[in-house]
Structure 1
């Protein structure tokens, strides 16, 4: 105020002029308050009694001017917010985050968040936040009336200067915990859009006690209306865009499907013409090469090239056929970036392989064409095979196994017609492949019986081979090794024989099945054995008894001790029982000192308990040792 009064005789007009200058310059309210407190105004009491009243009027004018400016700034900020919200957003989440950011900037508060109602309309979930928060995050579930407050007429915003002390409101437990954790004080809650159809609430809050003005409440209410409108508009726009994209994609798929179906039909017609006219393998390969591109080659079950068509013409390299045993289905299968294989199978019989060379990745449509060509080739190969030999031999075995009461004379008569002489000895081999290996095992069996002069069939999930010979043990081990090599996985095998005539067929099959049961029960992956190999153990463990579990339960600690320390407790136990429980005789058998046997048996006592030599436990130990001996025999088969 320096220079305001130069003397006691300053004219009154100078004071009013200074007040007007202050108003024009936008002086702060503090300047007027300082003027009111200045003692020198008392010097005008006699001549200008209304000086202080003039200052008060100037202050009111100042307040109105500042309020107008604040309202103008708020409206400008609201217009900017409206422009941003009206712009297309790539997602609803992007719009929600823009709303919370604008709300916080509009009122200059600490945080803002939006909670949308769930379907039950009893709860809401936070979907967007702005401002530093620790307890309030996207996904937080709160009661729909997070702030339970008196209804506001017309959906007006509800404002409080202090959430935690305002006796007009009741906070839900979840909301109060969050408010205390965030130290929230002043807050405003406004519905998004029209109050009657609002789907959520926009909250703004400050960490300081604050009384929101009417202008501020009006601004945030307007923002809530705009936000609800733009939110609904964005929902509708995105939904329309999604429907349009789905319709376009559906039309594109329908067009592509129609085109693929037409082309598939044309290929199918061409292949059918070949089947009903030429019935020619080379014509089929040529048609496949023309439709697929590249070179189509067909090999028989022994790997010999039957025919080839297309480019490249040089297809003598058959190394790709090594991948066939590893393929678990007849579907097209890539072996490298330029070669596809299709195993040619009829039921469980492997007829050959189709190879497509010179092609990279195939589309689903092209794979379907390749599969159609392969099926046509299978039909032609089957016709060729039927013309040469037929499948009467395999049907005979399945019929013989299927009906135990079928007349032996009729079976023998049919056997003679297919060239099967049951007066010569034969063996039955039974394999039990897993469900995922059944088809490939059947394909392997077709080639195996052709090489060995036998028959193959299937019964009760078993693959059954009838082979000429007298040694069931050798037949089981040989078939097991060949099957494991072909499938790349071990398969349990059992065998019975030698057998003669049709009358012994069913009993031989049951004996071979019991041997498979025993191998499975002993827990040997891919074991192969006959009744002669198993002895009494086969009868003991057949029927899916858990022999492996029994061994582990009885002498598992001893086995584990030997494995970890390269010790000889198991051989010592065997020698001890074989020598009638005599440590001295056991030491002689093992060629060690008696004290060594005694120390080992003391260790057995520590592992199996003090009662290991009592009759009941000793019997279990001897049985477990015998089962372990048989299992080791099977595991070390040649």
Structure 2
């Protein structure tokens, strides 16, 4: 018996040695068989078999832990890999490749919502062997993905095509069959915005996925969802940065073009002011425009020409000029055969025209350069003709035109040019715009120019309107003066608006825009053929003005009543509040004020004496109510500041 005990102990030691050395499971059974051959029976043999089962169980648990540790290490590596910035497509490829390797399956893929369509599409397949998946679409509610999204939990099937627990999709089933797939596991691909997709792993054999495998794929999907969110944000950011970069490049190109255009115009004007020969000016124009140029006088006579102009081409130029007549529109006009014409104008006088053979399409920069060349030609022709007044008018027009462009000129340059004309741009000026129905008549431009010179102001035409910059602080009075001046001409009277005052070269453009809005509002209100300013239009002027002058509006509307109350300690303003708050009822107003109705009636009569008997008309009443509310708000704000000041003074005391 002692020998058999020794054999049993030897068998147990052999099993423990196999367990310690991580021997294969077949050798555990061999140790038991060896004990049987050595004669171990009964309770000793049963003990050896029990120890074998325990050792195999321990070894299985060790193997699972090793597999779990390896899987967790793979997850950590995956998280580290996904931590680096990737595109959306690269991120999806990493997720599907690691998912397939994590649980040892044959194929993996991701389903995401289809753009602009219901349902889902397959993305980033890994391990597939057919091309049937190209643009494969899953209809909404079909496939294992729909079941996963509905339950918000992982699901798997040992044999996809034979499982009727979910709705099948024909195209997907065909692809599953072509790939030879059976077992499929799907988990939600969670994102910050919510679960929007699924991660799938599939095997080409029937198998059951363990809880550990399901948990591993689910953890990978959670990590992948975070990485996918970041990749989407990175792609959006890259797109926005690319768009911003394109805008910066475009802005830089436009700025470079504007600077080049300004330099070219300055060079042409310097030539003209330097008293150059017309041929020299035309040659410079040809170089700047890179096209043949022809300068003609007021009656079509050729003054100078430059470029590849044969006799026939010159005849075509001249004939086109005579047929088109002398244009008044300062914008280049196409005469035909790629020939563009721009008038040479000086103070409302036609000195000729400049013709350029620049092709059927004229770019914005070329058009502006052509207008600048025409202005330089006007200066040169005026100097040669001894027309000092014409030259001054041209310079005045150019100065105001430069003040109205959106690309600002240097302030010191504008002020120097204005001082040469005896105009101080740091002094108050008002902007006046006159608009005729249709195009402004040439004699209206001449009359406006004369009016501007007489008042020591500036005049030009801008976007089809006559624009004047006149010294003064009352835009309404200036608008009426210009309206009266231009209304004496034949035809319908113009619509004239005014704004300001402005005391800075950079504010002239803002004043022009405010006057233009006022002009548009007058047209919309049916006040065509009249004159007004933003100050004359009541509360509408507050909406049109760039700088809302609430104090002026209050004073012009109810200032007389406020002054009367302050000087005589009356309650007219309080009566107005009560009157309007009770729907215009003197009786109810008296009840609110705790006075007799006759007292309210006498106060309302006094108000009429102060601000006009028509103050109860709807339009006047609306302005008065608005002024009352603004005055109340102003008083509340001032009362809120005064206690703080009183407290500070008290503390100082």
Q: Does TM, scored on the shorter chain, surpass 0.5?
A: no
- Shorter-chain TM-score category? 0.3 to 0.5
TM-score normalised by structure 1 residue count: 0.45
TM-score normalised by structure 2 residue count: 0.44
